[in-house]
Amino acid sequence: MNNKQAIEKLTEATLNSLNGLQQVEANEFLHAKIINRMQANELKERVTYNRLMVKLSVALGLFICVNGVSYYLFAHQSQNKGKVKTTVSPVAAFAEEYSLNTNSYNY
């Protein structure tokens, strides 16, 4: 019981000490400083976002150009190959690839 009463007295003393405190007044320019920092951070984010969008759009443009050029080249290449058509059996192609047709040694 004695312990409980001591705790209650300490609690009341703490609460009573809070009644005498004055409210802290903020600096007059605090609000302006906070707004300025928020606007600066927003500007940095916008610049970063714009740079990222420019880089991505350039990459997309290059991707489209490479695909267009490769399509153009392959379309013309397939048209040229279509005129001269030679058929090679798979066995002959394998023998030619691994140099099985010649009797010379390439060591």
10-60 tens-digit pLDDT: 888 887 777 777 777 878 888 889 899 999 888 888 888 999 999 999 999
The C-alpha atoms of residue 70 and residue 58 are separated, in whole angstroms, by 18
Residues in contact with 54: Cβ distance below 8 Å, sequence separation at least 6, in sequence order = none
Residues in the chain: 107
Domain membership of residue 3 (yes or no) is no
Phi-psi region of 25 (alpha: psi -120 to 50; beta: other; left: phi over 0): beta
Domain membership of residue 30 (yes or no) is no
Q: What is the pLDDT of residue 86?
A: 67
Q: Identify whether the C-beta of residue 44 lies closer than 8 Å to the C-beta of residue 36.
A: no
Report the percentage of the chain scoring pLDDT > 90.
21
Domain residues for 63? Answer: 35-82
Domain membership of residue 43 (yes or no) is yes
Domain membership of residue 12 (yes or no) is no
The number of distinct structural domains making up the chain is: 1
Domain membership of residue 73 (yes or no) is yes
Average confidence score pLDDT of the chain? 83
Domain membership of residue 58 (yes or no) is yes
DSSP 60: H
Report the percentage of the chain scoring pLDDT > 70.
86
